[in-house]
Structure 1
C-alpha cells in the first residue's frame, strides 16, 4: 500500500481516523521534528479549525466525496501563495508576520480539495538558494542525513514531507525549487507547464514566467491527483490550459546521462539515468541518446535568464514597496544591486533567451517524446554550502548551476518536468531522475513516472503522522 496523502485521505474518508486526529498528529510531529527546521511558522488552532470543518461534513456527502484530499493536513511555503491567515515573510527579517492575506486562487483550490493548512515551511531569503538556511532561521536539514541540505528553495516543504510531518506540502519552482528539494529528500516533485496553474488574484509578474507552484509528495499518484484537481481554468488574462493526452504506443525516450565538462555529474547519478532508461526500454519504448551539446546553449541561456530576471524582479520589489534593503542578508543585497545595475537592453536579451530556449526544446521534442536526464550532479550538499554572508553573486549562482545543472531549463522554457527517486547511492541517499516533456505534457510525465516508481520510497523511512497500517 502507498503510504501517502491519498492513503491518509482514504483513512479519513472511511472513518479510521478523523481529520482532527490527523491534524493533532501532524502538529505533534512538527514539534517532535523541530530540530529539522522544516517548519518556520505554525498555527495549530487554524489547522484544527480547518480539520473540524471537514469532520463536520457527513461521510459520503457529495461535497466531501468530491475532495481529493479531504481532511489531510498540509503546510504552505513561506514564499508564494498566499494562504489567508498565514503571513509570509519569504525567509527575511525585512518582512513582518503581521495580519495575513486573502487566499490566492491556488490556495483556494488547495482548500477546496480538503487540504488543511496549519503552518509555513522554511525557505531561503526570497528563494535565492538551493538550500533553505535563512539568517532568521531555522536551518532546514535533510531528514535522511541532517548534516546535509534538504534543498531549496522548497527545502522546508521537502523535509516536512520526508519526515512525515505531513504527507504533501505546497511548493514553488522558479529555478528548480520544487525538483531539487524533492531530489534531495527522495520525493516526487512536478514543476508544471507555464500557465498550467492559476496565478490570481494578483496576476503579477511571477518572475517573468519562470515560476510555477504545486507541491512535493511521497508518490506520483499524489502529485497527479493534486495537479489535475488544481490546474487549468484560471480566471484572468490567460488562455485556458488544456493538458495534452499521453501518447499511446512506443515512446521515444531521449536519454541524457552527461551534463558536460562545465557541469560534471557524478557517476552514480549519471548511471541511474541509463538504468531508468533501460527499464523503460524493457517496457517497449525506444531510447534515443542525446548529447549535452544539443541543449548546452539552451541551458546556459536559461541559467543567465534566471539570474537576470530574479535579480531585476527582486530589485523592482524592493523599489516598488520602498523597503529597506539593508535589513536583508549580504548576498540578497548584492542580488538587489545586481538587479539595479542591469540595463533594460540586457534584461530584454535574457527574456528573449527564454523564448529561444523554448524554441530549442520544441525542436528537440520533434524527435523525442520526453527527455530523461539528471536533476542533481551530486548527493545533497552539506549544510552551509550556499552561504549568504558574501556579495559574490557570480560565485553563488555558479554553485547553484553546478549542483543542479538542468534545473533552470524547465523554468526558462516553460516546459514541465518531474523528478522522483530511482535507487540509492553508496551512502544510502536518493538517486533521482528527472523527466522533461513539451508544454502541456504533464499526463505523459505522470505516466512515465508511474512506470518508474518503486514501492520503497526514501520518505517512508519515517511514517506519516496519523497514518497507521
Structure 2
C-alpha cells in the first residue's frame, strides 16, 4: 500500500504507470484508496455509499488486466445507474434503489477496469449548488469545513480535494462540475454536448444541457478519462466527433497561438468578487506570456434572458418525471425547495416550455458569434470562493424566483454554456488571501474540446496549482 504522501503524488495516469511497471499491485492501489476514504470521509462526508469488497472481488476475478484495471473511481449519486449499486439521486425517497442496469458511461468505466468503490453525495435531484441533503447530510469543503463543497457534484469534488481518490465521476446541467471544481481547487471539464454518451436511460436530457464527465487533479487525467467514456452509443439522438488518436494524445503538442478574449466582470457588466476578477487578470497575463493573443472582449447577448430562460427550461423538464396529481399533493418526504421546484415545473405550459427553448436558442446564437473572432473565452469560474453551508440548501422554503436569483448571483458564468453545449473548463489558478481556491473558466467553440484541453495543459505546466486541501487529515 501507498502511504498518504506517496498517494498524493499520483494521479490516475501515474497510478497506472506504477501498476504497469510492477512497482505496486493493483490490489494495493485499491486498498490505498480505501484507506484514504476511511480516514478522510468522516470529517468531509463526501462518500455516501461504499462497495469496497465488491470492487476487490471484481479485481480478483479479472483474468486480464488493462491500463486502468483496479484503479479507484467513485460514481456520483445522480444520473449514473450501476447494476448492484443503489442510486438515490440525493433523495431520501429513493435510498436503496437499484436501477438494475449500467448506464453507457458506467459500462465503459467497468470495461476499462476501474474499481468502482462507491458513490459520492449529491443534493436532491442535483437542484442546487451545494451538496446538502436530508438523505445524506452536509458535504463539507475540505479547505474549510464550514463552507460548501459546491454542487451538485460536491461529493465528488470534496473526495478528490481531500485526497481520497485522484478523480471522480461528476455531472453538469448548470455548472455542477465546474462550480465544485472551482470551490475545491480542481480541474473540471464539461465536455461538448454529445461527446460523452448519455444512454440508455436518457435521450436528449434537458435539450442537451446536461452532461457527464469528471473532476480531477490533473489535466491529463481529465483527457484520459474522456478517452475511456467518449463516443456515441446505440440509439443516441446525436453525438460530437472526437479527435483521431484521442484526447490524451493531444497533450503531447501545444495548441498553437490562440485568440483569447477575457472579461473581469459578469456578462452583464456587474462587478464580481475581487479575488475572482484578480484570478482572471493574472491568468490573462500568463496566457499572453505563453504567446497567445489576449484582449478584453465580451460576448454580445442578453445575459438575464439567457440564464433565466435556460434555468427555467431545466426546471420545467422535471415535469416529465411525475404526474400533475402528484405535484398538486403534499409531496411528503421531499425537501422544501424540491417541492417548490416540482410545483413550478408542473405549472409550466407546453407553449411556455417550447417558447423558452426558442428564446434560449436565440440568445445562444448571439453569444456564440463571439467564437467566430476568438478561439477561447476566459471568465471567472464563480463569483468568489466557496459560500457558507446552508445558504443554498434545499431545506429552506423560499419563493422559487429569489432562490434561482441567489444561485445565479453566486454562479453567473456556468449556465450559458450548458445552454450552448460548448466545452467549458474550470482550472484552479488562484487562491484568496486566506487560502481558499478560486478558479477561472475557459470556454472554446463547439466541438473544440481538444483545443481546450491542450490550452489547459499548457497553463497547468506554467502554473503551480494546489489541488489537495491543506486542512485534510494526514
24, 46, 56: which one aligns with 1:38? 46
Q: 1:217 to 1:321 in 2, by over 3 A?
A: farther
- Structure 1 residues 367-399: Cα deviation after superposition (integer angstroms, max 9, x where no partner): 101101111111100111113221421121111
Query: Normalized against structure 1, the TM-score is what?
Result: 0.91
Q: 1:147 to 1:425 in 2, by over 3 A?
A: same
Which residue does the alignment assign to 2:5? none
- Please give the root-mean-square deviation of Cα atoms over the aligned residues, in Å: 2.5
Matched, 1:420 2:424: no
Which residue does the alignment assign to 1:302? 306
Q: 1:419 to 1:138 in 2, by over 3 A?
A: same
Aligned equivalents of 1:263, 1:78: Cα separation in 2: 35
Q: How does 1:269-288 map to 2 (within 5 A)?
A: 269-288=276-295
- Structure 1 residues 393-435: Cα deviation after superposition (integer angstroms, max 9, x where no partner): 1121111111111110110111110111112210111121110
Q: How does 1:39-188 map to 2 (within 5 A)?
A: 39-54=47-62, 56-57=63-64, 64-65=65-66, 67=67, 69-188=68-187
Aligned equivalents of 1:218, 1:464: Cα separation in 2: 15
Which residue does the alignment assign to 1:21? 28
Aligned equivalents of 2:268, 2:361: Cα separation in 1: 25
Which residue does the alignment assign to 1:327? 333
- Structure 1 residues 291-330: Cα deviation after superposition (integer angstroms, max 9, x where no partner): 3xx3451x32332233322322223212299698322001
* CA drift at 1:252: 0.6
Matched, 1:6 2:5: no
Which residue does the alignment assign to 2:359? 353
- Structure 1 residues 157-195: Cα deviation after superposition (integer angstroms, max 9, x where no partner): 000011111111000000000000000100001001111
Q: Which runs of 5+ in 1 are unaligned?
A: 58-63
Which residue does the alignment assign to 1:194? 193
- Structure 1 residues 101-126: Cα deviation after superposition (integer angstroms, max 9, x where no partner): 21111111112222111111001111
* CA drift at 1:216: 0.4
Q: 1:321 to 1:370 in 2, by over 3 A?
A: farther
* CA drift at 1:260: 5.6
451, 454, 468: which one aligns with 1:460? 468
Contact 1:158 1:187 in 2 (8 A): yes
Aligned equivalents of 1:179, 1:187: Cα separation in 2: 9
Aligned equivalents of 1:26, 1:183: Cα separation in 2: 23
Contact 2:188 2:426 in 1 (8 A): yes
Equivalenced residues, count: 454
Which residue does the alignment assign to 1:60? none
Contact 2:193 2:240 in 1 (8 A): no
Q: 1:129 to 1:248 in 2, by over 3 A?
A: closer
Aligned equivalents of 2:452, 2:233: Cα separation in 1: 22
Deviates more, 1:141-150 or 1:454-463: 454-463
* CA drift at 1:244: 6.4
Q: 1:204 to 1:320 in 2, by over 3 A?
A: farther
Q: Which runs of 5+ in 2 are unaligned?
A: 1-7, 245-249
Query: Normalized against structure 2, the TM-score is what?
Result: 0.90
Matched, 1:366 2:345: no
Deviates more, 1:154-163 or 1:260-269: 260-269
